[in-house]
Amino acid sequence: MAYTEIDDPSKFFQCTLFTGNGGTQTITNGGNSDLQPDWLWLKKRNADVNHFLFDSVRGVSKEINTNNTEAEASPSNYLASFDSDGFSIGSDSDINGNNDTLVAWQWKAGTSFTNDASGTSIGTIDSAGSVNQDAGFSIVKWVATGSNATIKHGLSTAPSMIILKTTSVQKNWVVGHDGIGWGKNLWLNGGDAVNTGSTYWNNTAPTNSVFSVGTAGDTNDSGETIIGYCFSEKQGYSKFGSHTGNGNADGTFIYTGFKPAFVLIKRTDGEAYWVIIDNKRDPFNVSGHRLFPNRSDAETDETDIDFTAQGFKIRTTSATYNASGGSYIYMAFASNPFVTSTGVPATAR
């Protein structure tokens, strides 16, 4: 079997940088393949402004923010459309201020699905969404019941990571991840250590058809609308793992099997910010232009991580990444697989 079935990760994930113009503009991606995003995550880099997340399942006008607990909003002059190779935005200064620098992280789903749970006997709550089996990514929306339940995620393999947010009222962002187990959770809008609580994911790992929620209000408040972003691993394209810090500037090497384009890291055994590093804001090693999903802060620059042909290497003693004995989870997506399906190797930066 080939090492990877995804020779061109830009078909499914792209990171794009752009400069605001204070008016309206269309942002076109620069990867090898066109990508019409279904999940778009925007952040102004040079100012203290919210993270803005949009997706095709909720609709182009609806935004939510990872750095707070607010319900979704429908502001004018934000996102205008998802386009065949990018997106178009309006004139609001939060996402298109004149001469502001911004980053857009984009994922492709693209195939719509609906599930009548009583008719299909898959899950116990009706759901609808968009899925990309090749990329192992789905977006799913449902209305909570308040009782232990299962929800069809649309993927053919079990998700390794799920990020969900109640959109109809103010609630925490909840993250489940194989690296912490499904009797625990993290909050994307906060820096807290991992929380042990069986009522979030009902202490049950996802299957190849459904994931479980318990009775916790953040994941299953009766009558509220919830959006979930589900990820399963694809060799050579995505990885959702964990690692242990060594407290040394010659830090841990994390093998992903590809040259990363995007890495999200969170310490789990202690309080620390979530951190995003990518290959467009840092095209050369050492990477360190950091943005924090749980905070609205402008970008900061530290000497943190090298991206290699096979993964990433920690280059700091900071406890955010590398406390001695510290536990961490990560989410990573590829710019290139380590070896393509035709045997072409990736090169280091």
Both 200 and 302 in a single domain? no
Both 216 and 247 in a single domain? no
Q: Which of 214, 231, 248 is the last residue of a domain?
A: 231
- In the predicted model, is pLDDT for residue 347 greater than 70? no
The rounded distance, in Å, linking the Cα atoms of 238 and 262 is 10
The whole-number pLDDT of residue 349 equals 58
Both 125 and 227 in a single domain? yes
CB count in 10 Å sphere of residue 187: 18
Digit-coded pLDDT (tens) for 62-73: 999 999 999 999
The whole-number pLDDT of residue 1 equals 42
Establish if 26 belongs to a structural domain: yes
In contact, 150 and 210? CB cutoff 8 Å: yes
The rounded distance, in Å, linking the Cα atoms of 340 and 258 is 10
Both 224 and 136 in a single domain? yes
Both 212 and 131 in a single domain? yes
- In the predicted model, is pLDDT for residue 26 greater than 50? yes
- In the predicted model, is pLDDT for residue 35 greater than 60? yes
- In the predicted model, is pLDDT for residue 249 greater than 70? yes
Establish if 206 belongs to a structural domain: yes
Question: For residue 180, what is the domain's CATH number?
Answer: 2.60.40
- In the predicted model, is pLDDT for residue 342 greater than 60? no
- In the predicted model, is pLDDT for residue 341 greater than 70? no
Q: Closest by alpha carbon to 227, among 96, 64, 114, 87?
A: 64
The whole-number pLDDT of residue 346 equals 61
Both 102 and 189 in a single domain? no
Establish if 25 belongs to a structural domain: yes
The whole-number pLDDT of residue 348 equals 59
What 8-state DSSP symbol labels residue 291?
B
Mean predicted confidence (pLDDT) in 21-40: 95
Establish if 121 belongs to a structural domain: yes
**pLDDT above 70 coverage of the chain, percent:** 96
- In the predicted model, is pLDDT for residue 344 greater than 90? no
The rounded distance, in Å, linking the Cα atoms of 45 and 134 is 31
Q: Which tops the pLDDT comparison, 98 or 340?
A: 98
Establish if 347 belongs to a structural domain: no
The whole-number pLDDT of residue 219 equals 96
Both 80 and 59 in a single domain? yes
Both 222 and 253 in a single domain? no
Token pair in block for residue 330: 């990560």
Q: Which of 78, 107, 136 is the last residue of a domain?
A: 107
Q: Closest by alpha carbon to 239, among 103, 345, 344, 136?
A: 136
- In the predicted model, is pLDDT for residue 51 greater than 90? yes
| φ/ψ of residue 218, rounded to 5 | -70, -25
Count of the separate structural domains present in the chain: 3
Lowest mean pLDDT among 183-187, 324-328, 337-341: 337-341
Average pLDDT of the chain, as a whole number: 94
Domain residues for 188? 111-231
Q: Closest by alpha carbon to 230, among 157, 150, 327?
A: 157
Lowest mean pLDDT among 52-61, 279-288, 293-302, 314-323: 279-288
Both 125 and 211 in a single domain? yes
Mean predicted confidence (pLDDT) in 199-213: 98
Question: What band does 337 get if pLDDT is binned at 50, 70 and 90?
Answer: confident
Both 204 and 245 in a single domain? no
Q: Which of 171, 199, 231 is the last residue of a domain?
A: 231
Token pair in block for residue 50: 């919210």
Q: Which tops the pLDDT comparison, 338 or 9?
A: 9
Q: What is the three-class DSSP state of 107? A: strand
Both 216 and 129 in a single domain? yes
The predicted model scores a pTM of 0.96
Establish if 348 belongs to a structural domain: no
- In the predicted model, is pLDDT for residue 47 greater than 60? yes
Establish if 2 belongs to a structural domain: no
The whole-number pLDDT of residue 287 equals 80
- In the predicted model, is pLDDT for residue 340 greater than 70? no
Q: Which tops the pLDDT comparison, 7 or 139?
A: 139
Establish if 331 belongs to a structural domain: yes
- In the predicted model, is pLDDT for residue 164 greater than 70? yes
Mean predicted confidence (pLDDT) in 50-58: 98
Both 246 and 221 in a single domain? no
